[in-house]
Amino acid sequence: MANVLINAPKTARRGEIIEIKALILHPMETGFRPGTNGSIIARNIIERFTATWNGDEIFRIDLSPAIAANPFVSFFAVATDSGTVSLRWSGDEGFQVEESIAITVE
């Protein structure tokens, strides 16, 4: 089950620059750590985080094993029009999570 916390304003003035912060539960297993039996624990990371605003991609970040467990990402966006901001995380072992928030632009 996806477990995500998103922080963004619900309303913004047109043209205002808003900050969007997102946190997701994920181990970000590096693929370099030995497990209890001495063999290496398989890599399991989120490789990409993408943000779209009413379907248009506005931000993308490719992550590496050097990103901390339970990844946190923050970025800014110009409030252009009312609608939906969708955040998508994808990675190893078929990990796919999408969460959307509604934003009203006045």
87 to each of 21, 37, 38, 74, 83, how far by Cα in Å? 10, 37, 37, 12, 13
As measured in angstroms, the least distance from the Cβ of 55 to another protein is: 12
We find the least distance from the C-beta atom of residue 3 to another protein, in angstroms, to be 5
Residues belonging to the chain: 106
Q: By the 8 A CB rule, do 80 and 14 touch?
A: yes
CA angle 64, 65, 71 (to 5 degrees): 80
We find the least distance from the C-beta atom of residue 35 to another protein, in angstroms, to be 8
Question: Shortest gap between Cβ of 5 and another protein (angstroms)?
Answer: 5
Interface residues toward another protein, by CB under 8 A: 1, 3, 5-7, 17, 21-25, 27-28, 30, 32-34, 36, 53, 56, 58-78, 80
Give the HSE-up count for residue 18: Cα atoms under 13 Å, Cβ half-sphere: 22
8-state DSSP, 81: S
